[in-house]
């Protein structure tokens, strides 16, 4: 009878804990990145029963109480939902985002990030998201120093908060080469082909090639005089002359105009060879086009995060550059992380130290797919949570009933003595 009290009380306490854990799971059903927990039970004591055979396969012990041995983290993937925020991220697979608090580093699956007024990438609570800065920005002058396709992930201990300037300029790249294409025909009629070129000051200038047939002409092929003018609006900045020779079939044989002065910046003129550039052929429409390298300067339009968890700066001149890489941490034992809240965790001796995955070259990589414009919801199924809650509540009631029954049995025993 006394055993009934002990078993019932321990059962009530254990299942009350389980009810609290499950209720907390259900309450956080809408919490982004929430990790749900399950309750694991164990017997307090076992009482061995006599058996006629030591080789019996039947468990001959009787439990005399129960307790919650542990609350285990559910590591299942939560549903990924679409978002309209370009700084929202969802981890698909193993991994954790690193978050810098006041004096501690935390880890989370909640990727609902944003830029604050200081252009720090932060969580809704204002904690800093950790990653690797590209070191390709002159912060003092607000200028991009180098366009990067990606930012290599530094080592775990080198991660820092991601702070980016609010204003950023992409310097112009002067044109160094212009390719010309087209057919100038065979008639003694002046033809021209133009191209746009950026000078060293970032100005957009016009390079115009004017073709006039030379006098006298060679015995074989056609010889054209070329005048190249570089102008900025109505102002002519420079003029260069040369000649180009085509054979009897219109293929380019030679060219003496190979470079022009673009407001102090030399630009190579490429008319091609044979038939792959400018030709002089009959019975083909007169055409002209050009292709130049270099580009105008631009101002920052905004930052966004791509599917590689890289922060990308976009500029008004159409250029883009990676400027930071968000870190993705891994642990030997995720279950061993210390829970700070439903979405924040800390490493512990049970989890092991955080580390990064590496490729065959020994370079740090994310090792897990990251989706942008997306968030991971709580990894809890409502139906399962409600079912568990009902089961634990019934078990709680059964343990309470066992206490009542034990009390009634003691009362009867006392009355019998009387």
At residue 338, the pLDDT reads: 93
Task: Give Cβ neighbours of residue 262 (< 8 Å, ≥ 6 apart).
Answer: 174, 175, 197, 199, 205, 207, 230, 237, 238
Q: How far apart, in whole angstroms, are the C-alpha atoms of residue 135 and residue 138?
A: 8
**What does DSSP assign to residue 405?**
H
Q: Which residues contact 37 (CB under 8 A, 6 or more apart)?
A: 21, 24, 25, 71, 72, 73, 74, 339
Distance from C-alpha of 36 to C-alpha of 379, rounded to nearest angstrom? 6
Backbone angles phi, psi at 40, to 5 degrees: -115, 125
pLDDT of residue 395: 74
Tens-binned pLDDT, residue by residue, of the chain (418 aa): 566 566 777 777 777 777 887 888 888 888 899 988 887 777 766 655 555 555 555 555 666 677 766 677 888 899 999 999 989 999 999 999 999 988 899 999 999 999 888 889 999 999 999 999 999 999 989 999 999 999 999 999 999 999 999 899 999 999 999 999 999 999 999 999 999 999 999 899 999 999 999 999 999 999 999 999 999 999 999 999 999 999 999 999 999 999 999 999 999 999 999 999 999 999 899 999 999 999 999 999 989 899 889 999 999 999 999 999 999 999 999 999 999 988 999 999 999 999 999 999 999 999 899 999 999 999 888 877 778 878 877 877 777 777 777 767 777 777 775 5
Please enumerate in sequence order all residues whose Cβ is within 8 A of that of 350, keeping only pairs 6 or more positions apart, or say none. Answer: 333, 335, 336, 337
If you ran DSSP here, which 8-state letter would residue 262 be given? E
Residue-level pLDDT at 46: 60
Collapsing DSSP to helix, strand or coil, 218 comes out as coil
CA dihedral sign, ordered 64, 70, 71, 76 = negative
Residue 290 has a pLDDT of 96
Task: Check if the beta carbon of residue 198 is closer than 8 Å to that of residue 294.
Answer: yes
DSSP assignment letter at 392:
H
The pLDDT of residue 176 is: 96
**What sign has the CA pseudo-torsion 86, 112, 378, 160?**
positive
Whether residue 221 contacts residue 248, with contact meaning beta carbons closer than 8 Å, is answered with yes
* Rounded Cα distance, 65 and 43, in Å: 6
User: What string of DSSP letters covers 103-155?
Assistant: S-EEEES--B-EE-TTSBEE-TT-PEEEEEE-S-EETTTTEE----S------
CA nearest to 244, candidates 272, 223, 275, 220: 223
- The verdict on whether omega for the bond into residue 313 sits within 30 degrees of 0, i.e. cis, is no
Query: Residue 418: its pLDDT value, please?
Result: 54
Distances (CA, A) of 130 to 113, 257, 312, 328, 348: 11, 54, 16, 9, 19
**What is the DSSP annotation of 47-92?**
EE---S-TT--S--EEE--EEEEEEEEP-PPPPEEE-S-TTBEEEE
């Amino acid at each position: 009878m006394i055993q009934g009290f002990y078993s019932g009380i321990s059962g009530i306490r254990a299942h009350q804990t389980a009810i609290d854990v499950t209720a907390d799971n259900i309450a956080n059903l809408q919490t982004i990145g929430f990790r749900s927990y399950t309750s694991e039970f164990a017997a307090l004591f076992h009482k061995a029963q006599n058996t006629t055979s030591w080789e019996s396969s039947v468990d001959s012990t009787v439990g005399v109480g129960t307790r919650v041995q542990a609350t285990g983290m559910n590591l299942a993937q939560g549903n990924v939902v679409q978002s309209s925020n370009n700084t929202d991220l969802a981890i698909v697979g193993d991994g954790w985002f690193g978050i810098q608090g006041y004096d501690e580093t935390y880890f989370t699956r909640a990727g609902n990030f944003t830029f604050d007024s200081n252009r720090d990438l932060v969580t809704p609570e204002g904690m800093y998201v950790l990653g690797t800065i590209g070191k390709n920005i002159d912060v003092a002058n607000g200028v991009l120093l180098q366009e990067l396709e990606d930012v290599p992930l530094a080592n775990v201990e080198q991660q820092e908060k991601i702070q980016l300037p609010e204003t950023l300029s992409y310097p112009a790249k002067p044109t160094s080469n212009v390719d010309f294409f087209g057919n100038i025909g065979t008639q003694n009629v002046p033809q021209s082909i133009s191209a746009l070129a950026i000078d060293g000051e970032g100005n957009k200038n016009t390079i115009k090639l004017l073709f006039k047939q030379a006098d006298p002409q060679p015995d074989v092929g056609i010889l054209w005089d070329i005048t190249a003018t570089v102008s900025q609006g109505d102002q002519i900045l420079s003029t260069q002359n040369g000649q180009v020779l085509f054979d009897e079939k219109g293929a380019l044989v030679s060219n003496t105009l190979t470079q022009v002065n673009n407001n102090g910046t030399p630009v190579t003129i490429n008319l091609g060879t044979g038939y792959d550039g400018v030709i002089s052929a009959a019975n083909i429409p007169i055409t002209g086009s050009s292709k130049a390298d270099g580009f105008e300067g631009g101002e920052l339009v905004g930052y966004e995060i791509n599917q590689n968890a890289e922060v990308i700066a976009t500029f008004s001149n159409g250029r883009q550059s990676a400027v930071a890489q968000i870190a993705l941490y891994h642990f030997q034992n995720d279950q061993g992380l210390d829970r700070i809240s439903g979405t924040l965790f800390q490493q512990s001796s049970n989890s092991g130290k955080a580390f990064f995955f590496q490729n065959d070259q020994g370079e740090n990589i994310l090792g897990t797919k990251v989706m942008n414009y997306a968030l991971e919801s709580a990894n809890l199924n409502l139906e399962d949570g409600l079912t568990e809650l009902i089961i634990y509540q019934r078990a709680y009631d059964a343990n309470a009933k066992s206490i009542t029954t034990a009390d009634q049995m003691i009362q009867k025993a006392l009355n019998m003595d009387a």
